[in-house]
């Protein structure tokens, strides 16, 4: 099963990297902003949007309406269709084979879907990139955290030499080099200067060695036996800082590169930069498709932020699918409803409503305009029942409805107590 949490939100929006936010600002008319701002300037609007919108339902709705009614996003299409266009363009370019391999692994056939793989693909769909970067423990961030913990622990030490060493540690903490350690530059290709990291490493190694020598001082131990300098916690933290501040550790970015290499948006941003600086014949066409994909991903990030839910797309390709929509809604008493609306090339429209209750009981209603597809689905029901039971779900009922039933049946009508959870588009 796929473990997608309904309460998971995309809560990291970075104005200078979110293309959808930039587009919304650039394409919205002064009149629209005037109605939205109520006398506030643009800076105040963005502050409210980025920081307080989740607490203000009326502000959320106004911004959401502005986003959904913006013509740029209405005509955007799906991420999957944009990915297909990009892959086709890469196939036409003899110099795009490496990039084609990268993107092909992101958008595999729906036939190979399984719960674990789908969950991984959703997590690496690009929607959570900024959140992942913020939480990523890079070597520099590990060191920064540990140094701050050490300085905090020893700020009340009474040992004279420890006080001097801690003063030196505070100078490093207050330096521009230390303050500028963050994950905000991970998506840029400009590497941090090796000489800067080497200097920081040497300074911290010298200070930790000084602390260690002071710990071994018999005089200091006899004068200040209960001082925090001699605690087990301090010893462990000193060892940790000494290990983390080694030049080899600080310059080891393999784990970070591997994490970013798995993410669609990070890969797109890297490809955008590489292609922009290349002489590939269809360069402009490739950049257009990449830009469209990035805008689609950022639109879903923005939509998620405003709705306090998670708007997703499934990064899978399916040749028989023209378009599709997948939404999950939550009702009272831990009841969940899923609507799947597909437009198939060969069979036309297919609608499914799934209702989950009592933790493992599932009702399925199916509507299709194709009698041939209906027959195939009916024949496959025994297989479906078996697969559901294998993952701990009991199919209480599986019903086929006609088109009029789909439009009017209570089984397809949402009650007032149902709240939208998240929406997935294919």
List, for residues 49-80, the tens digit of each pLDDT value.
Answer: 444 444 555 556 767 777 777 777 777 777 77
Instruction: Report helix, strand or coil for 210.
Output: helix
Q: Which of 21-25, 56-60, 210-214, 239-243 has the lowest mean pLDDT?
A: 56-60
Q: What is the DSSP letter of 263?
A: -
More confident residue, 425 or 295: 295
pLDDT given at position 414: 37
- Which class for 379: exposed (0-12), middle (13-18), buried (19 or more C-beta within 10 A)? exposed
User: What's the chain's average pLDDT?
Assistant: 77
Looking at 1.10.3470, 3.30.750, 3.30.1490, 3.30.70, the CATH number of the domain 320-426 comes to 3.30.750
Length of the chain: 426
Q: What is the DSSP letter of 347?
A: T
pLDDT given at position 423: 42
More confident residue, 15 or 312: 312
State pLDDT tens for residues 327-352: 666 667 777 788 888 888 889 999 99
State pLDDT tens for residues 110-120: 666 666 777 77
**Distance, C-alpha 220 to centroid of its chain:** 51
Residue 369 has pLDDT above 80, yes or no: yes
DSSP string, 7-53: T-------TTT-HHHHHHHHHS-HHHHHHHHTT--HHHHHHIIIIIG
- Contact call for residues 361 and 394 (beta carbons, < 8 A): yes
Residue 98 has pLDDT above 80, yes or no: no
**pLDDT confidence band for 189 (50 / 70 / 90):** low
Residue 165 has pLDDT above 80, yes or no: yes
Taking the CA atoms of 42, 44, 50 and 56 in sequence, report the sign of the dihedral they define: negative
Residue 311 has pLDDT above 90, yes or no: no
Domain residue ranges of the chain, discontinuous segments joined by +: 139-252, 320-426
pLDDT given at position 46: 43
Rounded to whole angstroms, the Cα distance separating 90 from 110 reads: 21
């Amino acid at each position: 099963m796929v473990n997608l949490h309904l309460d998971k939100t995309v809560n990291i929006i970075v104005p200078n990297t979110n293309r959808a936010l930039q587009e919304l600002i650039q394409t919205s008319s002064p009149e629209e902003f005037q109605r939205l701002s109520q006398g506030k300037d643009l800076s105040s609007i963005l502050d409210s949007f980025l920081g307080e919108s989740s607490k203000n339902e009326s502000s959320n709705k106004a911004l959401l309406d502005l986003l959904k009614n913006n013509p740029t996003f209405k005509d955007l299409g799906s991420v999957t269709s944009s990915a297909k266009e990009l892959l086709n363009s890469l196939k036409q370019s003899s110099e795009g084979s490496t990039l084609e391999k990268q993107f092909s692994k992101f958008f595999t056939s729906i036939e190979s879907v399984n719960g674990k793989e789908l969950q991984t693909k959703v997590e690496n769909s690009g929607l959570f990139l900024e959140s992942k970067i913020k939480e990523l423990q890079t070597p520099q961030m590990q060191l920064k955290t540990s140094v701050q913990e050490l300085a905090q622990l020893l700020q009340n030490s009474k040992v004279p030499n420890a006080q001097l060493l801690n003063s030196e540690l505070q100078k490093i903490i207050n330096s521009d080099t230390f303050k500028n350690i963050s994950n905000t530059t991970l998506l840029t290709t400009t590497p941090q200067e090796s000489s800067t990291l080497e200097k920081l490493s040497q300074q911290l190694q010298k200070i930790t060695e000084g602390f260690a020598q002071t710990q071994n001082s018999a005089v200091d131990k006899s004068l200040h036996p209960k001082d925090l300098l001699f605690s087990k916690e301090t010893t462990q933290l000193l060892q940790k800082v000494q290990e983390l501040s080694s030049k080899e550790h600080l310059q080891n970015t393999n784990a970070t590169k591997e994490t970013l290499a798995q993410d669609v948006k990070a890969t797109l941003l890297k490809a955008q930069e590489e292609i922009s600086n290349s002489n590939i014949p269809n360069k402009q066409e490739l950049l257009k498709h990449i830009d469209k994909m990035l805008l689609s991903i950022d639109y879903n990030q923005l939509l998620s932020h405003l709705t306090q839910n998670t708007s997703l797309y499934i990064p899978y390709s399916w040749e028989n699918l023209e378009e599709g929509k997948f939404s999950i809604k939550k009702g009272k008493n831990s009841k969940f409803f899923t609507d799947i609306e597909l437009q198939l090339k060969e069979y036309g429209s297919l609608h499914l409503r799934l209702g989950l209750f009592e933790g493992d009981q599932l009702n399925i209603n199916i509507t299709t305009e194709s009698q041939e597809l209906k027959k195939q689905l009916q024949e496959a029901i025994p297989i479906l029942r078996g697969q559901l039971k294998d993952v701990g779900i009991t199919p209480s009922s599986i019903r086929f409805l006609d088109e009029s039933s789909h439009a009017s049946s209570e089984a397809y009508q949402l009650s007032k107590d149902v709240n939208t959870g998240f929406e997935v588009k294919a």
